[in-house]
Structure 1
Amino acid sequence: MAELVTGHAGKAHATAEQAAGLNAGILGLDDYVLNVHDKFKITVVSANKVTIGTGELVMQGRHVSQGTPEDLIVTNGSQGQKRNDLIVCRYAKGSQSVESAKLVVVRGTPTTGTPTDPAVNTTSPLDGGTTYDMPLYRIPLDGITIGTPVALFNVLKPMSDVWDSLTQRSTTWRVPYSSNSISLTRVGDICFAGGNVKFNQSGENNYTQARETIPVGYRPAETSNVPIAVFGGNTTFILYGEHTGRVVMLGNPNNAYAGCTGVWRTADPMPAA
């Protein structure tokens, strides 16, 4: 039977199960740390203690909030042995269907060989599971020493980032040795170059700097030369760019008609519409 959840029913009727189903439907069935607060940042305090910072996460549709940092104790390692422990966020459904979540250290098995991660609970509460673990960190131990923790979670980006990744801008850019321009198109942080030109000069270039520069908003993210336009036809002529907008040239434009293509990543702010 259909039921209106986000509506007034004259009685308490919306359930945590319904809220979790909505979250899972929108965010997906994976587990995510949200891009706020400390994002559960880990700090190794001593040989047997770590601190987990603040954060928000969604595991199988369940929203878990950590408002203050929390210390966790890691069982001391043993000389001559290695071990992998896991820090997990554990969901549990107890008696009378009371649900809870807490951070837990799952201890691995010591070995003189290559350690493996301990087993965790993987049956989703969406599938009726009463205990479920979302791994946050692997804690490697070599003897009594805690190694560098390894993050095991993905950070879910906000919708504003998704919007930016789909935003499109375009402009034209006149290329060296020509009176013609090509199109520069940006979608998110990816830029594309394309077009056809007639070069009006010839001569070999060996990474010669051009007078032209790439406009702000389309400059390559890398600090070294990145191919931004490769011209073909009756010529082989390549333009390389860098994060400052500087352009260098390789090859001979050969007074030719030529088409070009190019693609690169930019870290520039998105140009205004």
Structure 2
Amino acid sequence: MLENIKLNESNVTASIDAYIHHCLFGYNGVFKCGQQLKCEIINNNLLKIYDGLFINQGRFYRIAPGSYEEIKLENGVVGQKRYDLIVSHFETDGVNEKHEIKVISGEGETIPQYTNSDTFNGGTVSEMPLYLVEIDGISIKSVKSQFDIIPNLQELIDKMVMYKE
């Protein structure tokens, strides 16, 4: 079905807007602004993710400049290792949309699975991995970013100019 997209009228839905951005950017990731979702370990059960802008299947989200999100982790168990995955979780029923940053708790030394369905073709959930947290006993051993950094337009222009020369 052909759709006429009119930007000056009220028929541009969130889904159409997301589809346009998904086509323009082509992938999920974090933009080079703010603190780029820098993650800080506060204690063995609490992380802070600082400001930045990111995109998940064409939908933009941000942690406002100068602010952060607190991420609470389940307690570790003495003598056991575990991996948790922090994800950008987007969910839709086709009309309503919900976005949050979630923790997918692992079991043992297996990295937890996440859902990445195509929300433009009937899928209802898209999860973009942000951080992999390694827990050893009751302590956080490491926090590793899992996202791509999206270059800004000036960087892309500079690369094109260098390639042309």
Q: Match of 2:158, as an amino acid?
A: D
- TM norm structure 1: 0.56
Please give the alpha-carbon distance, in whole angstroms, between the structure 2 residues aligned to 1:14 and 1:38: 31
Please give the alpha-carbon distance, in whole angstroms, between the structure 2 residues aligned to 1:146 and 1:37: 25
1:132 lines up with 2:126 in the alignment: yes
Secondary structure in 2 aligned to 1:97? coil
Q: Cα offset for 1:3? A: 3.7
Identity of aligned residues (%): 26
**Equivalent residue runs for 1:1-273 within 5 Å:** 1-9=1-9, 12-28=10-26, 30-67=27-64, 68-94=67-93, 97-110=95-108, 115-168=109-162, 187=163
Secondary structure in 2 aligned to 1:165? helix
Q: Match of 1:144, as an amino acid?
A: I
Secondary structure in 1 aligned to 2:120? helix
Q: Cα offset for 1:81? A: 0.6
Q: Match of 2:5, as an amino acid?
A: V
Larger RCO (alpha carbons 8 Å, 6+ apart):
2
Per-residue deviation, residues 50-96 of structure 1 (Å, max 9, x unmatched) = 001111111111111221301111111111110000000100124x7
Q: In angstroms, what is the RMSD of aligned CA positions?
A: 1.8
Q: Cα offset for 1:102? A: 0.5
Per-residue deviation, residues 102-139 of structure 1 (Å, max 9, x unmatched) = 100110002xxxx1211111112122211221100000
Please give the alpha-carbon distance, in whole angstroms, between the structure 2 residues aligned to 1:74 and 1:167: 46
Q: Match of 1:109, as an amino acid?
A: E
- In the alignment of these two chains, the number of paired residues is 163
Assess, with a 3 A threshold, how the Cα gap between structure 1 residues 49 and 163 changes in structure 2: closer, same or farther. Answer: same
Please give the alpha-carbon distance, in whole angstroms, between the structure 2 residues aligned to 1:138 and 1:81: 17
Please give the alpha-carbon distance, in whole angstroms, between the structure 1 residues aligned to 2:86 and 2:8: 41
Please give the alpha-carbon distance, in whole angstroms, between the structure 1 residues aligned to 2:128 and 2:102: 10
Instruction: After the TM superposition, list the runs of 4 or more consecutive aligned residues in structure 1 that deviate by more than 4 angstroms.
Output: none
Per-residue deviation, residues 11-68 of structure 1 (Å, max 9, x unmatched) = x21111111111111111x211111111111000001100011111111111112213
Q: Match of 2:78, as an amino acid?
A: Q
- TM norm structure 2: 0.91
